[in-house]
Amino acid sequence: MRIVPGIVLAMTAVVLTACSGGGSAPSNESATRSTESGGSTAPTTTTGQQDCAAGYLAQFTLRQKLAQLLTVGVTGAADAENVIATEQVGGIFVGGWTDKSMLSGGRMEQVKAAARTPLMVTIDEEGGRVSRVKDLIGPAPSARVVAQTMSPDEFYRFSLERGQKLKALGITVDFAPDVDVSGQPDDSVIGDRSFSDDPAVVVQYADAYIRAMTEAGVGTVMKHFPGHGSGSGDSHTGAVRTPPLADLQDKDLVPYRELVGSGAGVMVGHLDVPGLTEPNIPASISPQAMALLRQGAGYGAAPFDGVIFTDDLSGMAAITSRMGIADAVEAALVAGADNALWISTDAVSSVLDQLEQAVAAGRLPGHQVDASVLRMAKFKGTAPQC
C-alpha cells in the first residue's frame, strides 16, 4: 500500500512540534498548513524542539514504540496486567465483556503500575444502548433522546458529572461522541446513537460533550469518519458503502469540519466511500481517507494534527472478511492511523512481530512510527515540557 506524501509531511511536522507542550488537546495553530496543491508544509521548529522529540523517543525500543500505537480489549485486571507487563501496549479497552471489578478497589492503579509510560484506559460510553459502566455511574439517555430533551448547556453539565465519574474509575479516554449525522430508525446500527439528522445540531451537542469531558480530564474521540450516518449497512456484519464523497460534504463531514480543533481524537470507520477510498479498501485502512482528515483541504477543514484511531479491527466483518488482524493493523498504520484498536489481547505479540518486520522492510517508515508515538503522548498529556 502506497504512502500519501501529505501524510508523511504532516507526521514529520508533528515530530517537531509535539514536544512544545504537555497538554492533551492539540492546537490547530501548530497544525500543518495546506497548500493550493493539496500538500502541506511543516511549521518552523527549533533545534531544541527536535532534541526534545528525540529525547522522548529514545526511551523506547522499536517494539515498544509500536506497542504504544496499539489499544486492545481486556477481559479483566489480570489480562490487562499481563499484556502491559509483557508488551507494554499503549492502551487498553474496557468493553461489555470486561470484568468491571478492575475499575474498583484500587485494581486500576495496580494495572497502570505495570506500564513504564502512562497507560491509556479507553471505553465507549456513549449512553443509550452503548453503555459499558451504567451500573457503576448510572444510565444516560441515547444521543437522539438527549437532543430532544436537553439543551446543549444542560447536556454539558450532565456530561461533566459523568466525565468526573469516569475519571474516578480510572478511565482516561471515551470513544465518544458519535458525530454521525443520521435520521435512520432508532434501532439501526447508528440510529439513536446520532444526535440528529441536522449537522448543526450534532455539532452543538458534540461540542458540549467534548468540552465537558475535557474539563473532567477525560479525552474524547469523534466517530466514525468520514460519516456512517447514511451508510448502507452495519460494519459489524459486513461491508458498508456510504454515499459518494461529494454527497458527504454538506452533511456527514460538517461535524469534523467544525470540531477539528476541539482537541478530540478521530475514529475512522470501516466505510467504503465512493470518490475517496479504493475498491475493497475501507476508510480505516485507506491512505486517501487519512489524507483527507490530515490535510483538511478536501472537505474545507483545517488540517487535523490530533490522534487518528481505527474502529475495532478484529470483531467487525467489514475488516475480518478481508484480512486477519496482523495485516489489518499493519495496513491501518501504514495508511496513516496513529492507533489500532481491537478487542482482545490474544494476537498482540504476533502483531508486533509483523510490525517490526514491516519497519525493517520499509513498508512502515520509522519516522511515521515516531510521529504517531509523539501524537499519542500529546493526546495522553504525557509529552515532555520543552
Ranges of H-type helices in 42-97: 47-57, 62-67, 77-87
CA dihedral sign, ordered 71, 72, 73, 74: negative
Find the catalytic residue in 311, 312, 338, 370: 311
Give the Cβ contact number of residue 195 at 10 Å.
31
307: helix, strand or coil: coil
Give the Cβ contact number of residue 242 at 10 Å.
26
370: helix, strand or coil: helix
92 near 72, Cβ under 8 Å?
A: yes
Q: Does the annotation mark 270 as catalytic?
A: no
The one-letter code for the residue type at 125 is E
Find the catalytic residue in 186, 236, 327, 346: 236
CA dihedral sign, ordered 357, 94, 201, 282: positive
How large is the greatest C-alpha to C-alpha distance in the chain, in angstroms? Answer: 55
C-alpha distances in Å from residue 225, one per residue of 39, 179, 181, 228, 272: 21, 9, 11, 7, 11
207 near 264, Cβ under 8 Å?
A: no
Task: Report residue 55 as a C-alpha cell.
Answer: 529525547
Q: How many Cα atoms within 13 Å fall on the side-chain side of residue 187?
A: 0
Do you find a cis peptide bond into 139, omega within 30 degrees of 0? no
Bridge partners, 178 (sequence order): 223
**What φ, ψ does residue 100 adopt, rounded to 5°?**
-75, -5
Smallest CA-to-CA distance from 183 within 167, 164, 196 is with: 196
Q: Does the annotation mark 236 as catalytic?
A: yes
Give the Cβ contact number of residue 59 at 10 Å.
10
| Residues labelled catalytic | 236, 311
